[in-house]
Amino acid sequence: MEAASPAGPDTPEPLAEGAAGEFSSLLRRIKGKLFTWHILKTIALGQMLSLCICGTAITSQYLAERYKVNTPMLQSFINYCLLFLIYTVMLAFRSGSDNLLVILKRKWWKYILLGLADVEANYVIVRAYQYTTLTSVQLLDCFGIPVLMALSWFILNARYRVIHFIAVAVCLLGVGTMVGADILAGREDSSGSDVLIGDILVLLGASLYAISNVCEEYIVKKLSRQEFLGMVGLFGTIISGIQLLIVEYKDVARIPWDWKIALLFMAFALCMFCLYSFMPLVIKVTSATSVNLGILTADLYSLFFGLFLFGYKFSGLYILSFTVIMVGFILYCSTPTRTAEPAESSVPPVTSIGIDNLGLKLEENLQETHSAAL
């Protein structure tokens, strides 16, 4: 008679198999949530915008360091002129409520404010570099992200989950890593002439960018991309042209024009025009906050190109910073935000159908009372 084998040694094997099955199932769910086609497309579009910003930074730095040309308002003016020539003219030939004159009659003052916010956001950030340090600009520029989220909450009725706040914190941690890498690599070589004024300008520029981006998201999703770009092109050209004549006419007169400088101006205008043209497309399928998180990598692309063009020192923290920012960006995109619906009234509306039904009900009650009395 054989002795029964003990059940103890065989028990851990099913438990181990069950744990392994649950772990693999969890990995499949995480992979299916984080690496969908929508998220991959959002990442690709966001990095395309980052490369456009990188192109504007590289060309501006080339003009400033190699040719001593520092004319940010002239460069912005060229971009607004391109937007005017394409999108504003496009609106002029439209008919109905989308026509340029009809839009101007109804909302001209709103687009003046939008154009002013957009022009000054570009200008004050560039001017801040004259007063404060590179570290301050990189860190304080992130102030625009919480401002953007707050404006989206109140104006666009966007509602965030805990994962969105965690993702933003991870992205800002990546920016902090990038700033630390800059300091270790020796790029922080200027203390600025007046740090307080520079920091205030950065905060002002970040807030103006947030206002411009929220308005852009509202117009693109509620109205049309062409209307936003056409109106920004129109009023941006007027405002930046006036400001150019006031603050930069001497700098423009001193530019030693040749084909290389002209080519750099053209490259800057092309990158900026592509940025303005494609950003509404990305915002329409995502959100302004998501786009701003995605373009945090633009400084890193500029650093990578600067290794070859300007002799920057490489640091492994740049790779770590890029990875951390991308992880935060993917986390943010993994869970869509929801839009709060306006509260509905608990009192049902009075309609003719409701009144008719009420009359029929009263008539039925009278008939039942009469029958009971008989």
Q: What's the average model confidence in pLDDT over 302-329? A: 83
Average pLDDT, the chain: 81
Domain holding 271, by residue range, is 30-339
Number of domains, the chain: 1
Kindly state the tokens that stand for 206: 């970040």
Q: Tell me if 180 is assigned to some domain.
A: yes
What is the spatial distance between Cα 330 and Cα 299, in angstroms, rounded to a whole number?
18
SS3 for 190-241 is CCCCCHHHHHHHHHHHHHHHHHHHHHHHHHHHHCCHHHHHHHHHHHHHHHHH
Residue 170, CA atoms < 13 Å, CB-side half-sphere: 19
56-70, 214-228, 260-274, 349-363: segment of lowest average pLDDT: 349-363
How confident is residue 346, by pLDDT bands cut at 50, 70 and 90?
Answer: very low
Task: Indicate whether 70 pLDDT > 70.
Answer: yes
* Residue 166: predicted pLDDT: 93
**Which residues lie across from 339 on neighbouring strands?**
158
What is the spatial distance between Cα 230 and Cα 244, in angstroms, rounded to a whole number?
20
* Residue 312: predicted pLDDT: 75
Cα separations in angstroms, 364 against 351, 354, 357:
20, 15, 11
Instruction: Evaluate whether 149 touches 291 at the Cβ level (below 8 Å).
Output: no
Kindly state the tokens that stand for 277: 């043209």
Taking residue 258's Cβ as centre, other Cβ atoms within 10 Å add up to 9
Residue type, 336: P
Q: Tell me if 10 is assigned to some domain.
A: no
Task: Indicate whether 30 pLDDT > 70.
Answer: no
Please provide the DSSP assignment of 1-46 as one string: -PPPPPSTTTSHHHHHHHHHHHHHHHHHHHHHHHS-HHHHHHHHHH
Task: Indicate whether 314 pLDDT > 80.
Answer: no
Residue 68 has phi, psi (to 5 degrees) of 55, 40
Task: Indicate whether 353 pLDDT > 50.
Answer: no
Q: Tell me if 352 is assigned to some domain.
A: no
Q: Please, what is the end-to-end C-alpha distance for the chain in angstroms? A: 92
Q: Tell me if 344 is assigned to some domain.
A: no
* Residue 243: predicted pLDDT: 94
Q: What's the average model confidence in pLDDT over 354-362? A: 43
How confident is residue 374, by pLDDT bands cut at 50, 70 and 90?
Answer: very low
Q: Tell me if 365 is assigned to some domain.
A: no
Top mean-pLDDT range of 128-142, 235-249, 292-306: 235-249
Q: Tell me if 13 is assigned to some domain.
A: no
Q: What is the pLDDT of residues 83-97, one digit of tens each?
A: 999 999 999 998 888
How confident is residue 60, by pLDDT bands cut at 50, 70 and 90?
Answer: confident
Q: Tell me if 4 is assigned to some domain.
A: no
Q: What is the pLDDT of residues 169-209, one digit of tens each?
A: 999 998 888 888 777 766 655 555 577 888 888 899 999 99
Q: Tell me if 354 is assigned to some domain.
A: no
Kindly state the tokens that stand for 271: 């990158």
